[in-house]
Structure 1
């Protein structure tokens, strides 16, 4: 077999009706396609077997995780050029991307010529086993306490040392707030935490609950700068261990508590304020009403909730929504995105009054690009703390997510809501200036 790249490119052109947007380099050393830009490297036929048996995103992702395909050059440019082929979205539901149509066509018995060419190039093979070492193992009913703990452990217990390389000293794993595009990642994460504290109106002596507290950064910031007493909950053992250590080293162990506890198990409210930063994406639509009702119950009348959450775009036919297979299998098991309108409606159904919504889409793109830069800069060290496959998963999903935010395929929003008093008093300032300019730290 010679000129595998040329044959692949020609087959793709016939099926797509246009050339592939990337240069290809195949396992036999042959190359084909545009001379400029990044190169998609196909290291063996097994990558094509994966695409043949799982057309579209999942087959590509499995080949990427296994190291059977790679990109030389700018990963963002490569993903951008491929985005129209691999990812798609229509007004009434996810559209069938061109690459998926093409690969499905190769398996169509009515398309005998293309199928014969594909068989000659790829060769007969049984379905290749997926690289399961990086995929989640799920047990029990969807969003049961046990299954959610397993899902969170898969994503967040990759290792504190690995995450410290990616996230930097802040150890904040959510969208930063870039008041200045030239700011450092640390500055932007500090600005985000402070903005949330101001929106919540935190002050000395109040009791804060941080749901999904991660490595304790929000708790630490609120205790240090706003004088609150704080409870942080996570269902990741590794996160909780490091969060407790950070609080102890800062001298705040007597003013904050970190628990390994599901939000559904919290029974020691009420709290003056609740922050939920990048946690609601894990809740899932079957449990989201319980989530909003639980947080409402845990707040004092007049207390505020800050819900910081990634959102997908709404579809005219919501029944057509499909969870991303790659993300579900390899990154955020059982996670689910909802439109911001759905989230605000469920918060209000639970009894909250929604007072402010701030979109931070562009901020998350900058944040993700910073994380990818950190991972690439520290790649040899990262491989000492996790497997090559897992590191490749994180690099791909963060880079692809940055593009998704930039292209307005997904967004992220801070929703500020309040549990009003029985007489309807929200105990809120009349303008946003209070948290933009007027809050005072201790």
Structure 2
């Protein structure tokens, strides 16, 4: 099974929509994934930044770490890390030229010179590089073959590197996103060809990894 199928569909469905649309529905960071509404989160912007800080804390992020963000979206995490950890080099991979252009514009506005954005199909992309910390936020739902995907990612990790994965999940069962009736709107409009992971799914793919939930 390939790492991913129908990889052009999400671009048509939503990834190539203009930033002006997402500015209407997302916070100022354009965080296109989960937010953390803790007790101090009074606004969507607060919840965005609280979640970004959680990523850094739980990944043991340190200034000077090399960082790869796979499926970086509109760059919320790339920009947050690059601004907070000025000695870190941040690479983001997305599948949208619109997203790349937006992130690069933001880097110029914020005078950030430690960010590189690559437009690529992660299922076939490869590179000769290694990183201290790799993030994948809301990307695994678009994938099919987790074994081959994680093998690819492991080749980009330093020997003591860490991988941080966030995905939504079903409590008990993993299943394919399939458009079989009128209720399958999330498949039809967001995750064509993707997978709903179960809460423990990554525990079955620990060759070269040790996953903690």
TM-score range, shorter chain: 0.7 to 0.9
- Describe the shift of the 1:182–1:188 C-alpha distance in structure 2 as closer, same or farther (beyond 3 A): closer
> Cα RMSD over matched residues?
2.1
**Aligned residue among 17, 38, 42 for 1:183:** 42
1:306 corresponds in structure 2 to 164
**Deviation for aligned residue 1:279:** 0.9
Structure with the bigger RCO (C-alpha within 8 Å, sep 6+) is 2
1:323 corresponds in structure 2 to 178
TM-score by length of 1: 0.44
2:90 corresponds in structure 1 to 230
- Describe the shift of the 1:273–1:165 C-alpha distance in structure 2 as closer, same or farther (beyond 3 A): same
**Is 2:109 aligned against 1:249?**
yes
**Aligned residue among 143, 147, 172 for 2:4:** 143
**Aligned residue among 106, 122, 136 for 1:276:** 136
Report the secondary structure of 1:210's partner residue.
strand
Instruction: Name the CA distance, whole Å, in 2 between partners of 1:142 and 1:224.
Output: 32
> How many residues are matched?
206
Larger helix fraction of residues: 1
- Describe the shift of the 1:213–1:261 C-alpha distance in structure 2 as closer, same or farther (beyond 3 A): same
**Aligned residue among 339, 347, 352 for 2:198:** 339
The within-5 A match list for 1:160-175 is: 160-175=19-34
**Deviation for aligned residue 1:226:** 2.0
**Deviation above 4 Å: which 4+ runs of structure 1?**
none
Asked whether the 8 Å contact 2:177–2:193 carries over to 1, the reply is no
The within-5 A match list for 1:328-367 is: 328-346=187-205, 348=206, 350-355=207-212, 357=213
**Deviation for aligned residue 1:322:** 6.4
Structure 2: give runs of 5+ residues left out of the alignment: none
**CA offset digits 1:61-101 (Å, max 9, x no partner):** xxxxxxxxxxxxxxxxxxxxxxxxxxxxxxxxxxxxxxxxx
Asked whether the 8 Å contact 2:41–2:47 carries over to 1, the reply is no
**CA offset digits 1:350-380 (Å, max 9, x no partner):** 311123x2xxxxxxxxxxxxxxxxxxxxxxx
Asked whether the 8 Å contact 1:142–1:334 carries over to 2, the reply is no
**Aligned residue among 271, 290, 295 for 2:148:** 290
TM-score by length of 2: 0.88
**CA offset digits 1:238-294 (Å, max 9, x no partner):** 111101111111111x2110111123413132111001011111112xx22111111
Structure 1: give runs of 5+ residues left out of the alignment: 1-140, 358-442
